[in-house]
């Protein structure tokens, strides 16, 4: 079985977040960490060198490939704060319309700053995604 490139490491999450250069991005990342810890009940863990993840699930594809990945996570990148909403967004159109200024990829929510968002809507989006993943993967 081949392993994912992105795996939990022993690196200190707070040290990583404290080193984020942009002050707004740094403070936003700390706020997202608190939100995701609250929603998941799981501690923040570094996944690879630049992703902060919460919880874990095991997946197995029909192809036979299997592995472990975080339930939800984020990365304070230079261009955006990226939130990894692993369940994707297809079931969350109504929430996304109320969220505020953002862009989405397959499982990525790209945000310039949290001030652009409705934080209650963001928390609900994270909670619904985590609940979906826990139910789907029995974790």
61-117: pLDDT as tens digits = 888 888 899 999 999 999 999 999 999 999 999 999 999 999 999 999 999 999 999
Residue 2 has pLDDT above 70, yes or no: no
Bridge partners (DSSP) of residue 117 are 100
Q: How many helices (H) and strands (E) does the chain have?
A: 4, 8
Domain at 13-137, CATH class: alpha beta
| Mean pLDDT of the 19-26 span | 97
pLDDT at 97: 97
Q: Where are the domains of the chain?
A: 13-137
Q: What is the pTM of this model?
A: 0.94
């Amino acid at each position: 079985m081949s392993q994912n490139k992105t795996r939990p490491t022993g690196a200190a999450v707070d040290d990583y977040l404290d080193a984020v250069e942009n002050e707004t991005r740094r403070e936003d990342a700390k706020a997202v960490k608190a939100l995701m810890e609250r929603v998941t009940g799981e501690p923040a863990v570094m996944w690879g060198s630049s992703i902060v993840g919460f919880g874990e699930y095991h997946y197995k594809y029909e192809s036979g490939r299997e592995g472990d990945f975080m339930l939800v996570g984020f990365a304070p990148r230079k261009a955006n704060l990226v939130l990894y909403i692993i369940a994707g967004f297809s079931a969350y159109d109504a929430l996304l319309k109320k969220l505020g200024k953002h862009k989405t990829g397959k499982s990525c929510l790209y945000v310039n700053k949290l001030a652009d968002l409705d934080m209650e809507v963001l928390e609900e989006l994270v909670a619904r995604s985590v609940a979906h993943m826990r139910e789907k993967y029995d974790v």
